[in-house]
Amino acid sequence: MKRITIDPVTRIEGHAKIVIQLDDNGRVAGTEFHVTQVRGFEKFTEGRPFYEMPGITSRICGICPISHLLASSKACDSIMAVRIPPAAYKLRTLAHCAQIVQSHALSFFYLSSPDLLLGMDSDMPSRNVLGVIAAHPEMARDGIELRKFGLQIIEGLAQERVHPSWIVPGGVAAPMSGSVRERILSDLPSAHAIASRTLRFFKNALDNYSYKEEIESFGSAPTMYAGLVDGKGNLQFYDGGLRFRSPSGEIIEDGIAAEDYAGWMGEASLRDSYLKAPYFKPRGFPEGAYRVGPLARMNAADQCGTPLADAEFTEFHQRFGAPAHSAFLYHYARLIEIVHALEKIELLLADPQILEKHVRATAGVNSLEAVGIIEAPRGTLIHHYKVNEEGGITWANLIVATGHNNLAIGRSIQQVSERFIDGRKLQEGMLNRVSAVVRAYDPCLSCSTHALGEVALRIQLVDADGDLCDEVASS
Amino acid sequence: MRLPQKKLSIRIDGELISAVEGQTILQAAKANGKYIPTLCDLEGLTPVGACRLCIVEISGTDRLFPACTTPIQDGMSVTTASTRLAHHRRISVELLLVERNHTCAVCVSNGHCELQSLASAMGISTVRFAYNYPKLGVDLSHPRFVLDHNRCILCTRCVRACADLEGAHVWEITSRGIHSRIVSDLNQKWGESRSCTNCGKCVQACPTGALAAKGCAVEEMVKRADNISSLVHRREVQV
């Protein structure tokens, strides 16, 4: 028996290691997904003033600090027991949509497009974003432009692209100027064009059966799905109630309020991983595995709620059913969400209320426990705090998107490994498919474990006695 | 009637300047547009020479003197900038940075902090000493203000602002050496201090994020230390 270890997994955010056990015939006997760092945000924030939490927790991640700022600020709003001003609500939503665009663009164009455009078996040294720039410059340019569009909205609102301190408990720190609004509106048509061009490319590839094998084998085992939806069942990024949908498509629970999440979600600890595994409590562990993120949101919601995205939503489910199960479709769902986010940006900017000057509510401690939930680009993000009467944090719990997907990622790795790995003639392309299924989830492991470290993936081949036989590392 | 003040001649960095008897080297330098870095000094408050950043060289002696507490003498020749001084000042700032937990990125005073500005001006991007990482608390008991010991550099500007200007004497230093820390009244929680008038002068005088207004998010605490100085000057005006 041999063991393959992929350590580190590349083109993901954070650190992971995959171990694949092979039997004596070179067939996959088992797989393990290890997340290898711990960061301790929940512990070292104890004692800090609650209103510092958005600034501290946003430092968990440089890709989507806005997500942590929002979830944390929502929890702080609840501690203060305030309803934030309408303009602040809209500005937060605008920043969030901008972040969805830039983060999804990063995942699709920078991290996953090398696999999708150059091929899973293409030459490893050039299978990266530089390879994409060389082979498909127009696609690379689109990715950079789209990401820039999202980041420039954030910069226009918050003065900084990464780690702004503009989203604060009670609202936002400053209103939006008319000139920022005009600039976003002038850049919007180009962003729309890129999104629709990329969707066309992806669907065309689907029509030509380019990813048929991946769609069939990339984590296609049915799971439950969770995501925020509004009262009409529309996809929500910033607000709404949590909905769980069964693998066969029935709504199991709907309208779960942020403060009630713990009644429905349990967290299991896994051996050899710093990443906990949340599960749907009524079904127990591990049967209660569910997925979050773009694919889960497509499956949880009844529609997106904007015309262009709704048309894509309908086509998506016509092609792959409802719910659609393959993890490969996360890429497709991500592109639809970019379209939806762009439409939402347009709607928000058309609302004159967004320019109002009153953008911040103030209050002291009015509640000793609070939860903030949003849909981060990678899925449902939960910040749960307890404070003392002076406002000092006494306990914190963060459940991050990738955590929800932990069990599903593990199962997807197992499925892809069984389908593609042949231990008798191990090839890098086989292992890349294992990495690619992880990438499909766009995991942010530094977020999920609140960990520190570098980004990468390595695969090891170990025999039945535990001795290392072979190793493939990518950077 | 005030007597005319005696004029003294001194040299600062080789330049002959005229200063008033009783002035410190720092006062004379400032009055003549000469920059000497400071942290614990705040115009209007009694100088204490706590931070040692204003150290200068004086001809005729090998010792370094704090400019904020050393009075000028006629004929004195002072050097405010040299390789030796830069070395000692840099070490002083590095020691301040490692002593407690100065995490600029998530500090309420990020971008408006005198310690951060000084470190940046000195080009300090790394420190040569191991971080101390002490486990220090945050006093959130006051309804309007916060004391975060993690960010305190023990400059005592708060102690002096409270004593010299407000006359309330809320703040003091307890313990010694590395264990020293600011305390209100007789080591009570700030919110329980009976002598505190809630005036906030200590907060404005504080050069870092150690004392801040409650509710300020990251980067939001902008201090007005110049208000302290102008308040002192206005009080000295006799009509």
Domain boundaries, chain A: 2-213+350-474
- Which candidate in B109, B131, B140, B216 is best for mutational testing of the A interface (most A CBs within 10 A)? B140
The average pLDDT across A203-221 equals 84
- How confident is the model over A110-164, as pLDDT tens digits? 888 888 888 877 787 888 888 888 889 999 999 999 999 999 999 999 998 889 9
Q: In the numeric block, which tokens belong to residue A72?
A: 């944390």
Chains A, B: CB contacts under 8 A, how many? 48
Q: Is A280 left (phi over 0), alpha (psi -120 to 50) or beta?
A: beta
Mean confidence (pLDDT) of chain A: 88
The domain B7-81: what is its CATH number? 3.10.20.740
Domain boundaries, chain B: 7-81, 87-236
- How confident is the model over A170-193, as pLDDT tens digits? 999 999 999 999 999 999 999 999
Is the CB of A392 less than 8 angstroms away from the CB of B138? yes
pLDDT of residue B24: 97
The average pLDDT across B109-124 equals 97
B212-238: b or e for each residue (b if 16 or more CB lie within 10 Å)?
bbbbbbbbbbebebeebeebbeeeeee
Chain A residues in contact with B216 (beta carbon < 8 A): 51
- How confident is the model over B13-68, as pLDDT tens digits? 999 999 999 999 999 999 999 999 999 999 999 999 999 999 999 999 999 999 99
Residue A198, pLDDT above cutoff 80: yes
The domain B87-236: what is its CATH number? 3.30.70.20
Give the separation between CA B9 and CA B17, rounded to whole angstroms: 6
pLDDT tier at B155, thresholds 50, 70, 90: very high
Is the CB of B220 less than 8 angstroms away from the CB of A362? no
- Among A74-78, A268-272, A357-361, B143-147, the range scoring the smallest mean pLDDT is A268-272
- How confident is the model over A239-249, as pLDDT tens digits? 999 999 999 99
Chain B residues in contact with A50 (beta carbon < 8 A): none
Answer whether A451's CB lies under 8 Å from A39's CB: yes
Mean confidence (pLDDT) of chain B: 95
pLDDT tier at A459, thresholds 50, 70, 90: low
Work out the minimum CA distance from A166 to partner chain B, whole angstroms.
9
Is the CB of A392 less than 8 angstroms away from the CB of B219? no
Torsions phi, psi of A364, nearest 5? -95, -155
The average pLDDT across A92-118 equals 92
Residue A262, pLDDT above cutoff 90: yes
DSSP secondary structure string, A408-471?
Answer: HHHHHHHHHHHHH--GGG--HHHHHHHHHHHHHT--BHHHHTT-----BEEEEEEETTS-EEEE
**Residue of chain B nearest A49, judged by CA positions:** B140
Chain A residues in contact with B106 (beta carbon < 8 A): 52, 55-56, 59
pLDDT of residue A268: 87
Map residue A19 onto helix, strand or coil: strand
CATH of A2-213+350-474, one of 1.10.3720.10, 2.60.120.10, 1.10.645.10, 3.30.70.20: 1.10.645.10
pLDDT tier at A475, thresholds 50, 70, 90: very low
More confident residue, B239 or A64: A64
Q: In the numeric block, which tokens belong to residue A235?
A: 């996809």
Chain B residues in contact with A362 (beta carbon < 8 A): 215
pLDDT tier at A2, thresholds 50, 70, 90: confident
Map residue B210 onto helix, strand or coil: coil
Q: Does B237 touch chain A (CB under 8 A)?
A: no
pLDDT of residue A446: 59
Q: Does B108 touch chain A (CB under 8 A)?
A: yes
Chain B residues in contact with A48 (beta carbon < 8 A): 138
The average pLDDT across A23-44 equals 80
pLDDT tier at B158, thresholds 50, 70, 90: very high
Residues in A whose CB is inside 8 Å of some CB of B read 47-49, 51-52, 54-56, 59, 163, 165, 168-169, 173, 362, 364, 390-392
Reference A402, options A5, A103, A12, A39; nearest CA is A12
pLDDT of residue B209: 97
- Which candidate in B103, B106, B135, B189 is best for mutational testing of the A interface (most A CBs within 10 A)? B106
Q: Show which of residues 170-199 on chain B sit within 8 Å of chain A, judged by CB atoms.
A: 191
pLDDT of residue A449: 52
Q: Show which of residues 142-171 on chain B sit within 8 Å of chain A, judged by CB atoms.
A: 143, 146
Q: Does B91 touch chain A (CB under 8 A)?
A: no
Is the CB of A390 less than 8 angstroms away from the CB of B141? yes
**Residue of chain B nearest A170, judged by CA positions:** B215
Reference A382, options A396, A366, A363; nearest CA is A396
Q: Does B219 touch chain A (CB under 8 A)?
A: yes
Answer whether B98's CB lies under 8 Å from B131's CB: yes
Is the CB of B215 less than 8 angstroms away from the CB of A169? yes
Chain A residues in contact with B211 (beta carbon < 8 A): none
**What sign has the CA pseudo-torsion B184, B187, B191, B196?**
negative
Is the CB of B217 less than 8 angstroms away from the CB of A173? yes
Is the CB of B214 less than 8 angstroms away from the CB of A49? yes
- Beta carbons within 8 Å of A129's beta carbon, 6+ residues apart: A109, A110, A111, A113, A114, A140
Peptide bond into A222 cis (omega under 30): no
Q: Does B216 touch chain A (CB under 8 A)?
A: yes
Residue A109 has what DSSP assignment? Answer: I
Chain B residues in contact with A390 (beta carbon < 8 A): 140-141, 191
Give the separation between CA A231 and CA A223, rounded to whole angstroms: 24
pLDDT tier at A457, thresholds 50, 70, 90: low
Is the CB of B218 less than 8 angstroms away from the CB of A165? yes
Residue A274, pLDDT above cutoff 80: no
pLDDT of residue A454: 35
More confident residue, A23 or B89: B89
pLDDT of residue A450: 39
Query: Among A59, A168, A364, whose Cβ lies nearest the Cβ of B105?
Result: A59
Chain B residues in contact with A56 (beta carbon < 8 A): 106, 218
Work out the minimum CA distance from B191 to partner chain A, whole angstroms.
10
Residue A455, pLDDT above cutoff 50: no
- Among A1-10, A79-88, A344-353, the range scoring the smallest mean pLDDT is A1-10
